[in-house]
């Protein structure tokens, strides 16, 4: 999986599933979390990062929502 910013396009996530490459737009939050996860940040660090744009009550729900989505899409292959 790759997460990157394109100068004229919103953030993109590129991933392969069943030998097909798929692209989709992602939010600034998801881009930041994806980049942090790829840098081996912990779940706690991801939640701390979300505090910049979400209330304390929302943070764990938002993080779990993204993580669940990534697992369902095959972007995450293992949790450490």
pLDDT at 52: 92
Does 80 fall in a domain? Answer: no
pLDDT at 72: 86
Distance CA 26, CA 55 (A): 20
pLDDT at 71: 86
Q: What is the pLDDT of residues 8-66, one digit of tens each?
A: 445 556 665 656 677 888 888 899 998 998 898 998 999 999 999 999 999 989 999 99
Does 45 fall in a domain? Answer: yes
Give the residue with greater pLDDT, 1 vs 79.
79
Count of the separate structural domains present in the chain: 1
pLDDT at 62: 94
Residue 4, phi then psi, degrees to nearest 5: -155, 160
pLDDT at 4: 47
Q: Which domain holds residue 25?
A: 2-72
Does 6 fall in a domain? Answer: yes
Does 79 fall in a domain? Answer: no
Structure tokens at 69: 């989505």
């Amino acid at each position: 999986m790759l997460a990157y910013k394109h100068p004229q396009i919103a953030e993109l996530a590129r991933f392969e599933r069943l030998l097909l490459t798929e692209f989709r737009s992602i939010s600034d939050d998801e881009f930041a979390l994806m980049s942090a996860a790829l840098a081996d940040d912990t779940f706690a660090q991801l939640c701390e990062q979300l505090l910049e744009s979400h209330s304390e009550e929302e943070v764990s729900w938002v993080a779990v929502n993204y993580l669940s989505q990534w697992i369902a899409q095959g972007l995450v292959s293992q949790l450490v």
